[in-house]
Chains A and B, each alone.
Chain A
Amino acid sequence: MRRSMLFLPGNTPNILINGDALGADALIFDLEDAVSPDEKDAARVLVRSAIKALGYRGCEIIVRINGIDTPYWQDDLREMIPLRPSLIMPPKTSCAQDVRTVDEFIGRLEGELGFEAGTVRLIPLIETALGVENAYEIASASGRVAAIFLGGEDLTADLRCKRTREGAEIAYARSRMVVAARAAGVDVYDTPFTDVNDDEGLVLDAQTAKSFGFTGKAAISPRHVPGINEVFSPSMAEIDYAYEVLEAIRLAKEQGRGAVALRGKMIDAPIVARARQTIEAAEQLGLGGNRHEK
């Protein structure tokens, strides 16, 4: 289960080497913004060497490559695809063709390496106004797309507005991204909260993202990982309720009743679906003790 995705600057050994000890479900090895142009070569070699040697067991590996409008992205992929990262994150994805360009190049590399086609998935980073407007097309551009990810900083620069703690300026983009992702059947991740020292703000921002329907959230600081994990994990009350829902359904079936009520409210198909999602998430996280769905 991927709740938190932590950015690790690709050319900074003292952060890279501790990546798997920071509690994040996924690590984003950043070859883009965190690396200066004259160090792109060094970062590729360092990230490749670190992933090979350290393994980062227990964390999903994501690599943010440079944009397709730069001279770096193909070299990034040549160096990274042999490692079979779970996901490649192309930045500034603004249309379906951007996805297909990366998709085709990865496909060619997979073929050369003898990998099964589609082994490496994509999580396009959407951080332009055009990208938000094209979110559904991006999410459904290729079977390789596993999720889409909202980048709030670049987006607000493109929108010519200021990024705020409350995030009203990205509410439309958040909504649009979630709807697009769910319509395309992929996951969706929220932009990092950038004030590293504001723990309360981080939790509020993560709760807002969860309320919109995001699957999880990225972090630029390890300090934000526990807060994100907590917000995007089902609470014990939610898990208990989910088990009650399924038990009520089971009893109703046993007794041949069609309509089911729990705590005075009718249980319909969406409530059952949500209960199953909660239990699935709880089981993946080892929460919920030894209760079993009947």
Chain B
Amino acid sequence: MSSLVRKSAAGTMESSDVFVEIEPADGLEIEIESVVQQQFGQAIEQAVRDVLCGQGVTGARVRLTDRGALECVIRARVETAVRRGKESA
């Protein structure tokens, strides 16, 4: 449950995937770019917050470029980015 120590990324820009960039910050800042922003923006943000909470991350700047990913894919990519951000380079 350690905090982020570096900038990291996960995922791709392929269809049905999401590219997640994450870096240490004070507080949570979540930016989402998605073709389904209007319908699912809130649900996507909630999924990101759930994963960050589960990983014990309270300070992060997260940027998602969504290519129509399912929630399980978004959760997986955010988790991978967080795990990578916790590892020292």
Contacts and interface: CB of A to CB of B under 8 A. Distances in A.
Interface of A: 12-14, 17, 41-42, 45-46, 48-50, 52-54
Contacts of A48: 76
Interface in B58-89: 69-73, 75-77, 79-80, 83-84
B84 A41 contact: yes
Given A42-B10, A45-B80, A54 B72 contact: yes
B41 to A, nearest CB: 19
Contact of A53 (B11, B71, B80): B71
Interface of B: 10-11, 14-17, 69-73, 75-77, 79-80, 83-84
A12 to B, nearest CB: 8
Contact of B80 (A13, A14, A42): A42
A225 B80 CA distance: 32
Contacts of B80: 41-42, 45-46
A13 B83 contact: no
Interface centre among B10, B69, B71, B80 (most CB of A within 10 A): B80
Q: Which of B14, B17, B70, B77 has the most chain A CB within a 10 Å cutoff?
A: B70
A49 B16 CA distance: 14
Contacts of B72: 17, 49-50, 52-54
Given A13-B69, A17-B70, A41-B84, A46 B14 contact: no
Nearest to A15: B16
Contact of A14 (B10, B14, B77): B14
Given A14-B14, A14-B15, A46 B84 contact: no
Nearest to A41: B80
A274 B80 CA distance: 50
B15 to A, nearest CB: 5
B16 to A, nearest CB: 4
28 contacts: A12-B14, A13-B14, A13-B17, A13-B70, A13-B73, A14-B14, A14-B17, A17-B16, A17-B70, A41-B80, A41-B84, A42-B10, A45-B76, A45-B79, A46-B76, A46-B77, A49-B72, A49-B73, A49-B75, A49-B76, A50-B72, A50-B73, A50-B76, A52-B72, A53-B70, A53-B71, A53-B75, A54-B72
